[in-house]
Amino acid sequence: MNSLFVLFAAVIPGAAAERWPLRAILARAVASPVRGGQLARGGFCYYRADMQSLTNKRILVGVTGSIAAYKAAELIRGLRDAGAEVRVAMTRGASEFITPMTLQALSGHPVHQKLLDTQAEAGMSHIELSRWADCVLVAPASADFIARLAQGRADDLLSAVCLARDVPLALAPAMNRQMWADAATEKNVRTLQQRGVLMFGPAAGEQACGEVGPGRMEEPAELMRRVAEVFETGLLAGKTVLITAGPTREAVDPVRYIGNRSSGKMGYALCAAAVEAGARVILVSGPSTLATPERVERIDVESAEQMLAAVLEHMDGVDIFIGAAAVADYRPRQSERHKIKKDQAHLTLELERTPDILATVKSRRPRVFCVGFAAETANLDAHARRKLEDKGIDMVAANWVGPAAPDTGGGFDSDTNALRLYWADGELDLPVASKDRLARQLVASIAQRYERRPPGRRQHHNIVELRGGTPRKT
């Protein structure tokens, strides 16, 4: 991978610009890989390290009052280059070191500063942001902010978001070495860590005050690596997962088919989540324009018959099968060789059942952990439980579709969804969220149920629940 020294520039107002020399702020050289031999966009450095886990993630970057705030510009650009969507929340003190306009330009979104924002839903921007994010990263996190967070205060937007979140929270401390070593700071850090808050750093080195020691904010590249690790849970390390996704098309004639409105987004999100969990992932996809997730082996098919054949061909060594594809239930009994002409007032098609992929896999491979999907317009519980029992599978992920799912746009071609998981002796609701987040939650639940299978049918690992995150294998 080629590397270049790329010029980094940020707008730093006031005394901060006087304290830090030009070489440190306006000409900060960073060894940064470049994409396809091209220079970084806009003259800002960005990263192309192995950061696939950041693709499509929603990262809320919090910026507090610290001289290290200038590094937030580089961090935001790097996160976006790695494929993440970034929003920014600033404290009042942060705006004394770097302008909101700078961070707005780099993130591509307005910077959030007000606790009660009339532009936000119901004026509650802290709730809106906390529900939007997949991870909250406060960088830099000043000693004052760490203290207020440890006390549970919510008197500004950023601290309120941190309290209202249900996703991982990471802090990148930045302060003088004596402030970092102070007993009060040490106690506050321990308190937050006991609550599941992650601490990224600090690093040691020369500080703005001229002293040397621990307290420097970690470099943006290191913070990006640590954030990527948050999503790499290792829950399915060493496992092979086969996932079907998208619709199937059952040919009526050479130009027409019977199909459905599936976009494949949920299945593709599951592939990405399973890769993050450490699995080898095989995707058997019906017709879809979606890009193949990184590190996923993809086999393209069109009909239910082709999908079944591809699945059975690749089942050797598979530990978990997830049937997320919306397979057509029926197909024309006979497909015409030539286009049917519009010369009759009525046309009757005789249909027959397509093969049952889930039931076939479970009957032929009873030791494989099988997960099915159920999209329903009525009687969700009854239909999901029946599918679980009739097919003899291990879990069903059910969701409402059509008019029964107004909160998710009917469930078709939507970026959000809600699921209810069913297994033999339990169930779990996963509320409305982005399909990427739902996929990670579903993969975590699958890993837990897989580990709890009867002895002899699985390998044993310990799983620990982390507040605001996904389970992590230890």
- Angle made by CA atoms 330, 335, 336, in degrees to the nearest 5: 150
| Residues forming a β-bridge with 238 | none
Q: Amino acid letter at 457? A: R
* C-alpha–C-alpha distance, residues 453 and 6, integer Å: 52
Residue 97 near residue 70 (C-beta atoms within 8 A): yes
Select which of 45, 135, 162, 209 is catalytic: 209
* Phi (first) and psi of residue 369, to 5 degrees: -75, 115
Surface-to-core class of residue 341, CB atoms within 10 Å of its CB (0-12 exposed, 13-18 middle, 19+ buried):
exposed
End-to-end CA distance of the chain: 33
* C-alpha–C-alpha distance, residues 189 and 149, integer Å: 10
* Phi (first) and psi of residue 172, to 5 degrees: -110, 90
DSSP per-residue codes, 105-161: HHHSSPPB--SB-TTSGGGBHHHHHHHH-SEEEEEEE-HHHHHHHHTT--SSHHHHH
* C-alpha–C-alpha distance, residues 419 and 432, integer Å: 8
Residue 215 near residue 176 (C-beta atoms within 8 A): yes
Establish whether 162 is a catalytic residue. Answer: no
* C-alpha–C-alpha distance, residues 99 and 87, integer Å: 15
* C-alpha–C-alpha distance, residues 360 and 308, integer Å: 8
Residue 353 near residue 269 (C-beta atoms within 8 A): no
Strands 416-423 and 395-400: antiparallel
- Contacts of residue 249, defined as CB under 8 A and 6 or more positions apart, other chains included, come to 257, 258, 259, 286, 287, 302, 303, 328
List the structure tokens of 289. Answer: 């324009």
Catalytic residues: 209
